[in-house]
């Protein structure tokens, strides 16, 4: 697949077909992740691969609880001083799927990167985090080029620490995202998204 086609067709999916993925393809995708730019030239991130139902159920316990607790109907119908936004509709769609979109993916890939904590005091301290997101985007695009699709969940706060402990990740590493990879269900509902307007984003010379 041509690069721009991969960029333009990549999307986050939350429903997969019950169809296995060849591990050779997963390896090609992760090798694409390894080609990302890196701040310290060490490429010292790793990938934890979950394949079995038992592994996924164990690691995704918090995501399961969060998804179960979320009441989409209540969220969508909550009184608001303004009309519901596309982002809120997307949130209401995504939240109940935070567990199934990973559990039902043939592979869950969990990149881990070397950083004890996120510290924004200096931009340079955020470089490990920035680097791993370059890796993650390469993974998304390579998966798209392979005819696959990805779901993603960011384990926040307490969930992050629980996932890290369950996976026995060293104390000096962090877990930026949980990625489900598989064949997208073509029948999944596609919600309307905000589209960026390049004309409004461009500023020549300075902001004003
Ligand atoms: C930093 C970041 C965090 C995200 N966190 C989640 C998440 O926790 N759960 C989820 O279902 N989707 C998550 N998403 C996916 C977004 O919902 C999705 O990218 C957005 O709606 C645009 O859709 P698209 O990826 O199909 O273009 C995240 C995306 C980014 C970039």
Substitution candidate for ligand 1 out of 6, 14, 152, 160 with most atoms within 8 A of CB: 152
Query: Looking at 43-47, 115-119, 142-146, which range is the least confident one?
Result: 115-119
Domain covering 3-185: architecture: 3-Layer(aba) Sandwich (3.40)
Quote the mean pLDDT of the chain. 96
Q: pTM of the predicted model, to two decimals? A: 0.97
Question: Taking residues 1-16, what's their average pLDDT?
Answer: 96
What is the pLDDT, as a whole number, of residue 28?
98
Q: Give dist(CA 11, CA 118) in Å, integer.
A: 27
Report the run of H or E that residue 27 belongs to, with start and end: helix 23-34
* Ligand 1 midpoint to CA 181 (Å): 14
What is the pLDDT, as a whole number, of residue 121?
86
What is the pLDDT, as a whole number, of residue 126?
92
Start-to-end Cα distance in the chain: 39
Q: Give Cβ neighbours of residue 107 (< 8 Å, ≥ 6 apart).
A: 21, 26, 49, 50, 51, 180, 181, 182
What is the pLDDT, as a whole number, of residue 57?
98
Substitution candidate for ligand 1 out of 8, 11, 12, 88 with most atoms within 8 A of CB: 12
Q: Is the pLDDT of residue 1 over 80?
A: no
* pLDDT, tens digit (0-9, with 9 covering 90-100), for 158-181: 999 999 999 999 999 999 999 999
């Amino acid at each position: 697949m041509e690069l721009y086609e991969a960029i333009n067709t990549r999307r986050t999916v939350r429903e997969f077909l019950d169809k296995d993925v060849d591990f050779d393809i997963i390896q090609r995708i992760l090798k694409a992740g390894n080609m990302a730019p890196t701040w310290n030239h060490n490429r010292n991130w790793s990938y934890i691969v979950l394949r079995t139902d038992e592994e996924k159920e164990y690691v995704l316990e918090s995501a399961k609880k969060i998804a179960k607790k979320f009441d989409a109907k209540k969220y969508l119908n909550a009184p608001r001083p303004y009309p519901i936004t596309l982002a809120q509709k997307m949130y209401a769609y995504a939240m109940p799927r935070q567990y199934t979109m990973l559990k039902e993916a043939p592979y869950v890939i969990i990149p881990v990167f070397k950083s004890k904590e996120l510290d924004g005091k200096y931009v340079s301290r955020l470089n490990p985090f920035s680097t791993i997101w370059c890796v993650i985007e390469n993974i998304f695009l390579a998966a798209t080029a392979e005819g696959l699709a990805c779901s993603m969940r960011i384990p926040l706060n307490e969930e992050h620490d629980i996932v890290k402990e369950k996976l026995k990740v060293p104390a000096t590493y962090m877990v930026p995202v949980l990625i489900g990879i598989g064949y997208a269900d073509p029948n999944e509902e596609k919600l309307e998204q905000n589209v960026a307007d390049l004309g409004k984003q461009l500023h020549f010379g300075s902001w004003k």
